[in-house]
Amino acid sequence: MMCKEIFLLAFVLPIATLLLIDPNHFILGWNEGAGAGLLFALIFLTLEWFDIRRNVRMEFTSTKIFTIIVTTVVFSSYFCAVYAFGQGSLIAHFGSKLGYVTKPQILSWTRVLDYLVYAAHVLVLVTTIFGFKNLKYFPTPIVFLSGMALILLLDATFPYGSAESLQFMMKPILAITVFLLRSVGVRIDYLGGETLAVWGNKGFLLIEIYWQCAGVLSMVIYFLVIIILMLKLQTSTFKKLVYACLGAIGTFFVNIIRIFLIIYYGAYIDINLRMFHESIGEVLFTIWIIIYLLVVTTLDVRLKRYSGNHIEASPQLLLKR
């Protein structure tokens, strides 16, 4: 069995290389580093592998082994070049040609390439090891990585809420958040647009929340992951739709809880929100997805057992009658 799982090292090595070069890249913060997102993708890939490993045959030829080694070296070298040998300036220069000139835009642009590079790494290795026909068994990490790249590209292209359509989507999120904060005694006023005024124990806060901070597209990505996981669940279509809807509702409210906690933290604990703001989102969404999957799978198993017991009991009841 160990021999069968050893190929997973090829997926780990680029991430391990990045970790050795730049540990700060793994900060759980939006736009601070793509390392945490790469780890999530690796977790999704590992879960999918353990889900289908008994149904897929693996045959390693010398050509496959050579391709795996070359692919791993090439994609690991990208992270070395950018974060160890100063080629990040080249990436930034290329981004400036596309109009990404401010520091936040350059950071987002660089992270876009991080996610796309690792997505390409996963794609090449999966097709090399398992073949194109088995690519359907590994959709979650590729969708997650591509989705994160898309979010960051939009973040770079439309900084500070310049995408009006996405700003409009955050209004109900802010309305519910303000209602919840007022219900627990936080003095808060919605000044219109994206601005909130907060009076707390630690002083006065003027908070501007753009669509990136409101988690609009983050919710979309996590919901896409949930849909993919639901499609792979062995149950009826109706149950899948119900579970997916519950996942969408749960993801929406987890995002509201994230914003609620950030503002509450600033009002009563510390007005320096940066570290808490940069970490709470990833932590909450990770906990939510794990709890959601555990609840859904446990509930589905119990429903199947109940249906099975009910079917078995029915003939006995008819005989008694």
What's the pLDDT tens digit per position in 151-166?
Answer: 888 878 877 655 555 6
pLDDT at 157: 83
Please tell me the distance from the alpha carbon of residue 131 to that of residue 142, in angstroms, as a whole number.
15
User: Which strand (E) or helix (H) includes residue 312?
Assistant: helix 274-320
Mean pLDDT by 10 residues, the chain (321 residues): 69 91 70 70 85 76 90 93 85 86 83 93 92 85 87 78 62 85 87 79 76 68 75 79 85 87 83 68 79 83 71 46 41
For residue range 74-132, list pLDDT tens digits in order. 999 999 998 888 888 888 888 888 888 887 788 888 889 999 999 999 999 999 988 88
Contact 45, 11 (CB under 8 A): yes
Handedness of CA 144, 155, 18, 122 (dihedral sign): positive
- 307 CA to centre of own chain: 34
Rounded CA separation 167/238 (Å): 33
